Amino acid sequence: MNKTSKVLALKYRPTNFSELIGQEIVAETITNSIKSDKIPNAYLFTGIRGVGKTTIARIVAKSLNCKNGIDDLCKNSLCDNCEAISNSSHMDVLELNGADKTSINDIRDLIEFSRYAPTSSKYKIFIIDEVHQISSSAFNALLKILEEPPKYLKFILATTEIKKVPVTILSRCQRFDLSRVRSSELLMFIKKIKNKENGNISDEALKLIVKISEGSVRDALSLLDRALLSLDKKIELDLKAAQKIFGYFDKSKIIDLFKLILKGDEKEVVESYRKIYDQGVEPKVFINDFLEILYYFKNINSLTLESANFSLNDDEFNKIKEISKEIDPQILILFWQFTIKTIDELDIVSNQNLSIEMFLIRLIYLSSSKTKDFEIKNYKKVDDPQSKVSLELKNDAISQIKNITQEKKTKPEIQKESKEEKKNLIYSLDDLIEICNLKREMKLKYDLEKNVSLVNFEKNRIEISFNYNLDKNFVKDLSSKLFEWTGERWIISFSKTKGEMSIKDKNEKKKTDLINDVKKTELYKKVLNKISDAKLIDVVSNTTKDD
């Protein structure tokens, strides 16, 4: 660990596998591979920020080049190689940032440098951090040397966005997916550091740090750093003070708000939310926290404080458990669906705060419907001959009242319309192009005419060949439209057989043949005698009789 640094994230950065937390399986696998001399040409570490990708890369570099060997790896008294690697000054261990070294020229320089054997250690090692940011041409330049590097050369790659790394690179690396550090393990870790730094912070405040860090060790240490610097060491930093420091509002306020919603007190609900908003809590943050509390209300009986990822303290946990006994589970499902829909609404409404207030009011009316003799737990239809009204509880969580007579009228119309839509009969490619034209599917029509050659056309099956200009989504789009137009599934397959000419080619051939026929006529020859450089460009058929 870097004892000279004052920043906790650097001061307590692991320097060997024994100091690493949360990645025991990765550490054991790498150690065993080095001991058995089965070292891959390239390692690839991926995971969220702050779980140890670059740290493990440096530890691997030390393990490969330590003068004492892997069995007696330097811990306190570092050898020359381990000391230089820790200080990022080793001649044979080169650290690059993918964001800085993105071009193919940078990678060519690196490959050129790799031709020289290591000067003072067993292996020459290239560590490329955020490797996903280098260019595609740079990746291509890496391919050959990653697969067959010299025996003395090893690559260690790290990335937070594994999907951006080409599969050709992935296949040449031994990949390790680093997981988020478990909450309990991270809590124990920052608690030890708090004690070493003589910090006066409550366990509840430490749990909040763990919650906000979301399994990232670096984030947890940065937050702990802020907490240690925020208050006088003589005063304990409790949960409320920590919430103010990190801009994290008290979840118990949402629980109290939830009680008011169930009580049906509209005025209190709006006033309570406005107090939360005045604390600087953004609507999107509020709605996500509301979803989290909803989850706990629905599943509190199957959770423990440990499984709740420390987002609830003891009082909140017990309060939710008590309130949940009086709530119909189906109400909670409806609330969840309403909340999810509101997230979409926030992107539409300019004043998101107003949207949240209306969302809370809607929840009040939804929850109060149970007290108005509406059967929510078991769906029940009420048929009154006078009012002709039925109550339906829709899947999208909106309880609506509809007129029965209207429903009976609209349903057959919908069915009739759908049947009419499915009456389209398609027996040939010409039929298909014609319906594309009628339905204004110009993109499909264009591809069918210009980029497709028909091999075979049968009922519900089309076999084609194509050129490279064909849209990549052609088959998916055409299959979807055929099902929509005919009500039947169609199979569209590609064939190696050349097939007929495309309609475009047919038309061009027809035009060429006409021009060639006209060129053979006496009239054309007479024109050439008069105008020697005349060119016949097109032929237009004229059906009218000459005078």
Q: Where residue 3 falls among pLDDT bands split at 50, 70, 90?
A: low
Q: Treating both helix axes as pointing N-terminal to C-terminal, what angle do 53-65 and 24-35 enclose, rounded to 10 degrees?
A: 20
**What is the per-residue pLDDT for 394?**
41
**What is the per-residue pLDDT for 424?**
67
The count of C-alpha atoms lying within 13 angstroms of the C-alpha of 507, restricted to the half-sphere facing its C-beta, is: 6
Is the domain defined by 8-177 classed in CATH 3.10.580.10? no
The predicted model gives 233-258 an average pLDDT of 80
Indicate the helix (H) or strand (E) that contains 211: helix 203-213
Q: What is the pLDDT of residues 317-330, one digit of tens each?
A: 788 888 888 788 88
**What is the per-residue pLDDT for 369?**
57
Name, in order, each residue with C-beta under 8 angstroms of 255's C-beta and a sequence gap of 6 or more: 293, 316, 319, 320, 323
**What is the per-residue pLDDT for 515?**
79
Residue 186 has pLDDT above 80, yes or no: yes
Q: What residue type is assigned to position 443 of the chain?
A: K
Q: Where residue 311 falls among pLDDT bands split at 50, 70, 90?
A: low
Q: What is the pLDDT of residues 436-454, one digit of tens each?
A: 888 888 888 888 888 888 8
Whose tokens are 């005025």? That residue is 267
What is the chain's mean pLDDT, rounded? 79
Q: Comparing C-alpha atoms, which of 135, 173, 141, 167 is closest to residue 154? A: 173
Q: What is the pLDDT of residues 99-118, one digit of tens each?
A: 787 788 888 888 888 888 88
Q: What's the angle, vertex CA 229, arms to CA 225 and CA 232, rounded to 5?
A: 140
Distance CA 178, CA 283 (A): 33
Instruction: Provide CATH code, domain 183-246.
Output: 1.10.8
Q: Where residue 46 falls among pLDDT bands split at 50, 70, 90?
A: very high
Instruction: Enter the pTM of the model.
Output: 0.57
Top mean pLDDT of 158-167, 436-445, 502-511 is at 158-167
For the chain, give every domain's residue range.
8-177, 183-246, 251-372, 429-500, 512-547
Contact 465, 423 (CB under 8 A): no
Residue 421 has pLDDT above 60, yes or no: no
What one-character-per-residue DSSP string does 366-394 give?
Answer: HHHGGGGT--TTTT-----TTT-EEEEE-
Q: Where residue 189 falls among pLDDT bands split at 50, 70, 90?
A: very high
Q: Where residue 505 falls among pLDDT bands split at 50, 70, 90?
A: confident
Residue 10 has pLDDT above 70, yes or no: yes
**What is the per-residue pLDDT for 192?**
92
Q: What is the pLDDT of residues 357-411, one digit of tens each?
A: 998 998 888 876 544 443 434 444 444 444 333 334 344 434 443 343 344 444 4
Residue 156 phi/psi, 5° resolution?
-130, 115
Residue 263 has pLDDT above 60, yes or no: yes
CATH topology of domain 251-372: Zinc Finger, Delta Prime; domain 3 (1.20.272)
Running DSSP on this structure, what letter comes out for residue 307?
T
Residue 412 has pLDDT above 60, yes or no: no
Indicate the helix (H) or strand (E) that contains 155: strand 153-159
What one-character-per-residue DSSP string does 45-62 give?
Answer: EE-STTSSHHHHHHHHHH
Residue 43 has pLDDT above 90, yes or no: yes
CATH topology of domain 429-500: GMP Synthetase; Chain A, domain 3 (3.30.300)
Task: Please state which of the ranges 42-51, 214-223, 410-419, 438-447 shows the lowest mean pLDDT.
Answer: 410-419
Strand extents, DSSP E, 387-473: 389-393, 399-403, 452-458, 461-466
